[in-house]
Amino acid sequence: MGLSLAVFALAIAPSVSSNETRPASPQNLNSLLEPLLKKYELPALAGAIVTSKGLAAVGAVGVRKYGTDTPVTVEDQFHLGSDTKAMTATMLATLVEEGKLSWDTSLEQVFPELVPKMNPAYRKVTLEQLMAHRAGFTDESWPKGMTFAEVHTIPGTPREQRATYVAMVLSEPPDYPPGSKFLYSNRSYAVAGAIAERVANDSWEHLMQKRLFEPLGMSSCGFGAMGTPGRIDQPWQHKLLLTWYRPIEPGPMADNPPAIAPAGTVHCSIIDWGKFVSAHLRGKRES
């Protein structure tokens, strides 16, 4: 996954707004980031200091692709990985705020057509339990018997792929009784994203754009690997092999499958990530 660092504080809140005043001139963090880049021999590093009023300091150092000399910038898109989950939760909170969902909404209520083949243990699992990683799911991201590459080949649109994925994972037995234990799971957020798609009758990607990125002015946000195949127009993702970072060329297989996108496929600039963090630091705004 992409190698980056954001310095932030986060408090989940259902309301989002970009109306707060941003500090006029954010300080440059490069002098702080450079020693860390060299110490850990990273391809690139981006960071920000964010307050409830906006961006206080920001920086980006290193190169877009290990072994090249194309520098990263604060406008470059970095892969957020599982920070996507906080964004998915925020989007879902807007649906709860509007009364389209409840934190107590259960899987059998949202997916009645899956109940005959759904493992009975999952029928009463709530949205809140999914968000808290207490649904009983295994920490294995892929359905039983499938690989990363095979999940990439599930047919259909991303929304259709998620529907197929959800039917698969809900038919499997839980690792433990739902509600009894915390176990971090990408499955929980993939299923939660599919819940949003069902109740809003829209794709997770479009819901994220309309309900989160556009209201906050996060214009650099996108999904999947950053950049153009064959070019170094954005930071490449890298895999650490012993002490060497292997660059991963942008393309569909360079990121998580669309089926689990709500758990970890968002990318954006460190500046836009700061806008999201700042919105949460401000907390809920009274209407």
pLDDT in tens, 134-163: 999 999 999 999 999 999 999 999 999 999
Residue 17: pLDDT band with limits 50, 70, 90: very low
Average confidence (pLDDT) over 19-27: 63
Average confidence (pLDDT) over 57-70: 96
- Report pLDDT for 1: 37
Residue 19: pLDDT band with limits 50, 70, 90: very low
Cα–Cα distance, 5 to 236 (Å, whole number): 15
Average confidence (pLDDT) over 39-43: 92
- Report pLDDT for 286: 57
CATH of domain 88-207: 3.40.710.10
Phi/psi of residue 155, each to 5°?
Answer: -75, 160
* Residue at token pair 């599919």: 194
Provide the token pair at 124: 């009463």
Residues 142 and 150 sit within 8 Å (Cβ to Cβ): yes
Q: What is the pTM of this model?
A: 0.89
Residue 133: pLDDT band with limits 50, 70, 90: very high
pLDDT in tens, 160-210: 999 999 999 999 999 999 999 999 999 999 999 999 999 999 999 999 999
- Report pLDDT for 25: 85
Element (H, E) at 28: strand 27-28
Q: Letter for the amino acid at 256?
A: N
Q: How far is CA 100 from CA 126, 196, 263, in A?
A: 14, 9, 21
On the question of pLDDT at 24 being above 90, the answer is: no
* Residue at token pair 């009894």: 180
SS3 at position 30: helix
pLDDT in tens, 227-278: 999 999 999 999 888 778 899 999 989 999 999 999 999 999 999 999 999 9
The set of residues, in sequence order, having a beta carbon less than 8 Å from that of 58 and lying 6+ positions away, is: 26, 27, 28, 29, 46, 47, 48, 49, 74, 270, 271, 274
Exposed/middle/buried for 70, CB within 10 Å: 0-12, 13-18, 19+? Answer: middle
The set of residues, in sequence order, having a beta carbon less than 8 Å from that of 4 and lying 6+ positions away, is: 44, 45, 46, 78, 79, 235, 270
On the question of pLDDT at 8 being above 80, the answer is: no
- Report pLDDT for 245: 86
| Summary mean pLDDT of the chain | 91
